[in-house]
């Protein structure tokens, strides 16, 4: 693991990431690295512990799901060499590889970096992958292509010091139009493109939504701006992240998302704090290069011979449900239904060949775990259909009731309570065999999560389910919580589903039949969510209540789907975000690392990055000192105020230069523009502070050698 000389062909940032991952993985294996600290580190590098012992899930970070055919082939090769030969497409437009050995995660990183991909900040308390409507750039309804804006935002925040040590993850989405196909209303940051005319000139901008989220307590996003000019997008997001970083909860993980901070402060106060951060930003305006993601070139025009189809009826449905005309005349987008988002490496390689033959070299992963090919000529459609069908990717009904979204659940996830994939297969059979007309219904969607955390986005589904359990005496029965009425209305309004009832998971197919039969008998041409809101929660509770009676369980109902033995609820420790570390010496070491990063940024020079790294070092150092006094803190601002109370006010710590207000000293960070003189002074001030923290810690210990490795 120590020989990294072969990485010379990679850029400096990728080399540094790969070397650090390799060295720290080796240190962990040899017992020289604290397991909890290493877990925090590896998560931000895309390496996530699986349910199965001693193997990892490796998550890539693919902004707005854009892949070339060659990148798809590379992912297939990596899956064969280092994983289980499968690619899993996610609702976050990522690709996940499963059953990866820790040491092999370094090799995956190398393969990704050599081909323009990364795993950096794919997991952990970071700005996660930024999603975008798969149709962006070809959507007939879009005012402009949001792809360059997603890419610019991705590049700006990748490895940015502002988002390396947050209290929780941040999820962002860009819709291509007001129809909100990107589900912006369930994100921490959502952006919907808009244009207006000023002095005869078209001005681009975005409707900005903030602080939405799913999980155990789903909250719809708030509108922060009806129209924010395009060059203010990144500065606004950066300022909001600084507020979240400083004021967000850190101790109580379930309350640490941005939605809870805005709920606590109120939207006006949150936005006022965002405004107060503007002066300290590196950029007051950040122009977006609109050519950053050029429109992919279609394949060369050619004459396609007439083709006699073996199954013309299936082709006709496929054309209706999986194909749409692009805004570019004469070209079509082709959507591929990928069951449960799972592709074998062989399928991925063959698909890459088809992309080069039939479409532009621009494949998009869709938010319902499928794929979208672009710029297919009309004459090529039957030929492409035949090729896809032979590959197993020609099923009609993309994004329909039969195209069920499901997270991996208990297959691989430590948090999984029930088998979401096993249930999804059963429900798809029900729809395809008993309700085949719903292959063409796109306003009624089914989504399943293996737990309440909503990786399957069940709360944004017309009919959703999340894993749970029921009890009958000492018997634990696998169950699903039924939720109804979520998703995006035809007019683009986002809805969160309502909880209805909890049922044994083996009875969910019967529950689906009950709901669908009732809907088809009584809805009178209303779309499902309208019908649900008209009838109300109580109506559907009463409809499904007979299925909740567990006093008369039948044989097999104590089993989960895909299981043939009695259900045992085994919930592991999830790694959706980082963990808290309370070892004082280790925390001081982390502060020293941030100071070193700040000093390195000064030499580049990158003054804004240096200042924020120094600020983070201040926070971590103060936290270490407070933990030594057994004072626990749950926000950055709380750490500053508690350090003032427990150290400065008691004269246990004397600030330099006659200062008496620690909060004021540290929060110079948002009172100055990020210029050279302030950056140098602030970093130097941080260095003095940390030296005093180390001396303070030494004085608190009976044996001073404990912190020898953390000296400046």
Domain boundary at 391, 424, 455, which? 391
Answer yes or no: is 306 within a domain.
no
* Residue 706 confidence (pLDDT): 39
* Residue 368 confidence (pLDDT): 96
Report the interhelical angle of 508-522 vs 528-535 (nearest 10°): 90
Q: Give the helix/strand (H/E) hosting 268.
A: helix 267-276
- Pair 434, 500 in one domain: yes
Answer yes or no: is 650 within a domain.
yes
Domain housing 463: 412-548
Angular region, 651: left φ>0, alpha ψ -120 to 50, beta rest: left
- Pair 428, 525 in one domain: yes
* Residue 86 confidence (pLDDT): 97
d(CA 56, CA 116): 22
Answer yes or no: is 558 within a domain.
no
As for how many domains the chain has, the answer is 5
Length of the chain, in residues? 712
Picking from 471, 475, 464, the residue whose alpha carbon sits closest to that of residue 511 is 464
- Which residue, chain included where needed, has tokens 């007979």? 546
Domain boundary at 356, 391, 426, which? 391
In angstroms, what is the C-alpha Rg of the chain?
26
Domain boundary at 491, 521, 548, which? 548
- The per-residue DSSP string of 339-407 comes to GGGEEEHHHHHHHHHHHHHHS-S-EEE-TTS-EEEEEEEGGGHHHHHHHHHHHT---S-TTSTTS-EE-
Report the interhelical angle of 607-628 vs 636-643 (nearest 10°): 60
| 59 bridge partner residues | 96
Question: How far, in whole angstroms, is CA 596 from its chain's centroid?
Answer: 29
- Pair 183, 234 in one domain: yes
- Pair 283, 150 in one domain: yes
- Pair 96, 152 in one domain: no
d(CA 73, CA 368): 21
Answer yes or no: is 132 within a domain.
no
**Helix ranges restricted to H, 30-178:** 35-43, 69-82, 102-113, 147-157
- Pair 320, 435 in one domain: no
d(CA 351, CA 348): 5
Picking from 370, 368, 395, the residue whose alpha carbon sits closest to that of residue 488 is 368
d(CA 330, CA 289): 28
- Pair 343, 439 in one domain: no
* Residue 633 confidence (pLDDT): 81
Q: Give the helix/strand (H/E) hosting 470.
A: strand 463-472
> Could you tell me the CATH number of the domain that includes residue 470?
3.30.413.10
- Pair 522, 430 in one domain: yes
Answer yes or no: is 162 within a domain.
yes
Answer yes or no: is 407 within a domain.
no
Angular region, 105: left φ>0, alpha ψ -120 to 50, beta rest: alpha
- Which residue, chain included where needed, has tokens 């000019």? 229
d(CA 365, CA 356): 17
> Could you tell me the CATH number of the domain that includes residue 362?
3.30.70.3340
Please give the structure tokens belonging to residue 652: 């246990």
d(CA 276, CA 242): 10
- Pair 271, 210 in one domain: yes
- Pair 640, 496 in one domain: no
Name the DSSP letter for residue 108.
Answer: H
> Could you tell me the CATH number of the domain that includes residue 626?
1.20.120
d(CA 281, CA 660): 26
**Helix ranges restricted to H, 124-256:** 147-157, 233-247
**How does pLDDT run across 289-310, given as a tens digit for each residue?**
999 999 889 988 889 999 999 9
- Residues in the chain predicted with pLDDT less than 70, given as ranges, are 1-3, 564-583, 701-712
- Pair 284, 316 in one domain: no
> Could you tell me the CATH number of the domain that includes residue 89?
3.30.70
Answer yes or no: is 404 within a domain.
no
Answer yes or no: is 279 within a domain.
yes
Answer yes or no: are the C-beta atoms of 64 and 150 closer than 8 Å: yes
- Pair 171, 119 in one domain: no
HSE at residue 292, side-chain half, CA atoms within 13 A, is 17
Please give the structure tokens belonging to residue 471: 């009890």
Picking from 374, 362, 289, 398, the residue whose alpha carbon sits closest to that of residue 325 is 374
Q: What is the mean pLDDT of the chain?
A: 92
* Torsion on CA atoms 515, 520, 526, 527, rounded to nearest 10: 50
């Amino acid at each position: 693991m120590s020989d990294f000389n072969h990485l010379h062909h990679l850029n400096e940032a990728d080399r540094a990431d790969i070397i650090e991952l390799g060295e720290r993985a080796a240190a962990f294996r040899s017992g020289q690295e604290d397991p909890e600290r290493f877990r925090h580190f590896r998560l931000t590098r895309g390496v996530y512990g699986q349910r199965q012992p001693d193997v990892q899930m490796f998550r890539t970070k693919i902004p707005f799901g854009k892949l070339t055919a060659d990148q798809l082939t590379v992912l297939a090769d990596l899956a064969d060499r280092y994983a289980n030969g499968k690619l899993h497409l996610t609702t976050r437009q990522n690709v996940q590889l499963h059953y990866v050995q820790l040491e092999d995660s370094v090799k995956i990183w190398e393969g990704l970096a050599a081909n323009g991909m990364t795993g950096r900040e794919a997991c952990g308390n970071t700005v996660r992958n930024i999603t975008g409507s798969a149709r962006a750039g070809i959507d007939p309804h879009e005012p402009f292509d949001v792809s360059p804006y997603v890419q610019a935002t991705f590049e700006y925040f990748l490895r940015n010091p502002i988002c390396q040590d947050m209290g929780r993850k941040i999820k962002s989405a860009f819709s291509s139009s007001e129809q909100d196909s990107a589900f912006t209303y369930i994100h921490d940051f959502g952006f919907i493109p808009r244009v207006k005319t000023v002095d005869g000139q078209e001005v681009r901008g975005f409707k900005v939504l903030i602080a939405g989220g799913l999980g155990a307590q789903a909250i719809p996003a708030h509108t922060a701006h009806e129209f924010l000019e395009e060059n203010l997008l990144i500065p606004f997001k950066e300022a909001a992240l600084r507020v979240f970083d400083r004021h967000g909860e850190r101790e109580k993980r379930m309350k640490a998302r941005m939605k809870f901070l805005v709920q606590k402060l109120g939207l006006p106060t949150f936005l006022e704090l965002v405004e107060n951060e503007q002066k300290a930003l590196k950029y007051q305006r950040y122009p977006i290069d609109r050519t950053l993601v050029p429109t992919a070139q279609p394949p060369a025009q050619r004459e396609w011979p007439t083709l006699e189809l073996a199954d013309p009826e299936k082709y006709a449905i496929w054309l209706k449900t999986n194909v749409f005309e692009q805004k570019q005349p004469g070209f079509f987008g082709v959507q591929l239904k990928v069951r449960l988002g799972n592709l074998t490496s062989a399928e991925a390689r063959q698909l890459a060949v088809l992309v080069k033959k039939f479409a532009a070299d621009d494949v998009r992963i869709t938010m319902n775990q499928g794929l979208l090919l672009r710029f297919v000529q009309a004459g090529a459609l039957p030929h492409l259909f035949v090729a896809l069908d032979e590959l197993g990717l020609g099923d009609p009904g993309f994004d329909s009731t039969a195209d069920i979204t499901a997270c991996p659940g208990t297959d691989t996830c430590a948090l999984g309570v029930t088998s979401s994939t096993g249930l999804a297969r059963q429900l798809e059979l029900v729809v395809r065999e008993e309700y085949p007309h719903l292959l063409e219904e796109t306003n009624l969607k089914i989504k399943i999560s293996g737990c309440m955390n909503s990786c399957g986005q069940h709360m944004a589904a017309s009919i959703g389910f999340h894993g749970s359990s029921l009890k009958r005496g000492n018997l634990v029965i696998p169950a699903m919580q039924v939720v109804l009425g979520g998703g995006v209305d035809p007019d683009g309004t986002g809805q969160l589903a309502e909880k209805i009832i909890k049922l044994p998971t083996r009875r969910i197919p019967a529950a689906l039949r009950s709901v669908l039969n009732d809907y088809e008998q009584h809805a009178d041409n209303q779309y499902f969510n309208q019908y649900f809101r008209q009838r109300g929660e109580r109506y559907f509770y009463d409809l499904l209540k007979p299925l909740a009676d567990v006093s008369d369980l039948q044989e097999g109902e104590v089993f989960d789907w895909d299981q043939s033995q009695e259900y045992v609820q085994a919930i592991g420790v999830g790694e959706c975000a980082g963990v808290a570390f309370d070892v004082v010496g280790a925390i001081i070491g982390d502060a020293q690392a941030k100071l070193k990063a700040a000093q390195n940024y000064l030499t580049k020079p990158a003054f804004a990055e240096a200042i924020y790294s120094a600020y983070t070092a201040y926070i971590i150092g103060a936290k270490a000192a407070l933990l030594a006094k057994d004072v626990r803190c749950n926000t950055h601002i709380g750490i500053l105020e508690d350090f003032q109370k427990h150290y400065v006010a008691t004269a246990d710590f004397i600030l330099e230069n006659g200062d008496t207000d620690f909060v004021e000293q540290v929060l110079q960070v948002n009172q100055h523009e990020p210029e050279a003189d302030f950056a140098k002074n602030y970093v130097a001030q941080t260095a003095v502070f940390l030296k005093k923290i180390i001396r303070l810690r030494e004085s608190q210990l009976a044996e001073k050698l404990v912190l020898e490795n953390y000296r400046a």
